[in-house]
Structure 1
Amino acid sequence: MIQLKHIHKEFEGRVVLDGIDASFQPGKINMVIGGSGTGKSVLLKCMIGILKPEQGQVLYDGRDFLKADQDTVKAIRREMGVLFQGGALFDSKTVLENVRFPLDTLTSQSVEEKNTRAMLCLQRVGLEAAAHQMPSDISGGMKKRVGIARAIVMNPKYLFCDEPNSGLDPLTAVKIDLLIQEITKEFNITTIVISHDMNSVMRLGEYIIFLKDGKKVWEGNNQNLLQTEVPSLQEFLSTKLT
């Protein structure tokens, strides 16, 4: 489980996150939604350690990520997998080398062991045939699948996905959604998805928080999202579902 307690983040005196509380459950798709500039990506960056909030706690199975000693921080980082919005693949590395990269930097496994693990992850996302291609030679949807393979290569407990459907056609977006859903259930991962794609939210959102002006103003799931009586969420949905 990942718990957020009173997360507060400012930039040059401007409050971006204002006392965010949430509990993200293992084996579920947990989603953060909201309009542009509402703090979604900043929240994710605070959770994975790219940014440090001024106040609050980020608890990984009870371990305070923000106040932990260096060894504990490293241990938590090894349990994370991250799918970045643009894929963030290395242009100079093959697909296999991209997937293997976390193993190269975080483990002492042999090259053979790392290649075997990377190939297993590529097989899981249906891309073993593309192992020796370069990122420039594959489609946008394939790049997202390579990103997922890299995100799970360390067998993470926590998976973070930043706008996984950004730039994809509707059919490919559905495939990526289903892949994230399958992997979450298969490995009992605590998955956090930042999204503005309401089709994805309605398909996947087992636990959803809605941010407005840096505050959490609603939480629930895809079953009760459309029944909300929160005006700001109703307004947000009206712009996304029309």
Structure 2
Amino acid sequence: MIDIKNIVKTFGDRQVLKGIDGCFEPGQTSLIIGGSGTGKSVLLKCMIGLVKPDAGEVIYDGRDFLSGDKELQKAIRREMGVLFQGSALFDSKTVLDNVRFPLDMLTDQSEEEKLDRANECLKRVGLENAGDRMPSEISGGMKKRVGIARAIVLNPKYLFCDEPNSGLDPLTSIKIDQLIKEITDEYKVTTVIITHDMNSMMEIGEKIMFLYEGNKLWEGDSETLTHSNVDELNEFINANKLIREMEK
């Protein structure tokens, strides 16, 4: 479980996050949604330690990540898997070497153990035959799956995905959503996803947090998403529906 309490962040004279609270449960796909510039990615970066908030707490299963010592923070980071928006693969490394990279950096496993684990994760995302290929030789959807394989290679308790469907066609987006949901269910991971994708909201949004101008205006699930009385949320949903219609 991840608890966030009163997260505040200001850049210059602009307050990006204005006291965000929330709770993210194991085995659940939790979505953070909102328009561009509403603070979604900044909140995610605060949660994983890439940005230090001005105030607030991030609690991982009872452990205070922000105020903990370096050893505690390092231990919690080892329990995180992160899928970045652009997949963030190393162009000079093969698919297999990209997946095993966290094992090389953070474990003392033998070469055989690392290879076995990396290949196991590639198989889990349906890329067991792509290990020798370079990132430049695979599609955008395959790169996302490589990113997911790398994110789960350390058996994380917490999985963070920043716009996992960015740049993908609708069919591939659905497959990526299904894969993330399957992994969340299978391993009982606490999964937090930043997304604009309407299909993701409706299909895998077990818990959804809507941010607007740095505030949390609404929280619920996919079943109640389209029945809120929050004008800003309804406007956001309608705009997404219009974009999806234009893409068809």
Q: What is the TM-score of this pair, normalised by structure 1?
A: 0.99
Cα distance in 2 between the residues matched to 1:89 and 1:197 = 22
Paired residues, number: 242
Q: Which residue matches 2:211?
A: 211
Q: Which residue matches 2:245?
A: none
Paired amino acid for 2:200: S
Alignment of 1:225-240 (within 5 A): 225-240=225-240
Give ranges in structure 2 of 5+ residues lacking alignment. 243-248
Q: Which residue matches 1:111?
A: 111
Q: Which residue matches 2:84?
A: 84
* Corresponding position: 1:200 with 2:190: no
Q: Report sequence identity in percent.
A: 66
Q: Which residue matches 1:98?
A: 98
* Corresponding position: 1:27 with 2:24: no
Q: Which residue matches 2:121?
A: 121
Deviation at 1:51, TM superposition (A): 0.1
Paired amino acid for 1:12: G
Paired amino acid for 2:60: Y
Cα distance in 1 between the residues matched to 2:185 and 2:229 = 31
Paired amino acid for 2:31: M
State the Cα RMSD in Å: 0.5
Q: Which residue matches 1:183?
A: 183
Cα distance in 2 between the residues matched to 1:241 and 1:172 = 18
Q: Give the match's secondary structure for 2:193.
A: strand
Cα distance in 2 between the residues matched to 1:199 and 1:123 = 26
Deviation at 1:13, TM superposition (A): 2.2
Deviation at 1:92, TM superposition (A): 0.3
Cα distance in 1 between the residues matched to 2:231 and 2:133 = 49
Q: Give the match's secondary structure for 2:15.
A: strand
Q: Which residue matches 1:18?
A: 18
Deviation at 1:81, TM superposition (A): 0.1
4+ runs deviating over 4 angstroms: none
What are the Cα deviations for residues 100-150 of structure 1, in whole angstroms up to 9, with x where unaligned?
000000001111110100000000001010001100000000000000000
Q: Give the match's secondary structure for 1:150.
A: helix
Paired amino acid for 1:21: D
Q: Which residue matches 2:147?
A: 147
Cα distance in 2 between the residues matched to 1:241 and 1:92 = 39
Q: Give the match's secondary structure for 1:31.
A: strand
* Corresponding position: 1:3 with 2:3: yes
Cα distance in 2 between the residues matched to 1:233 and 1:175 = 26
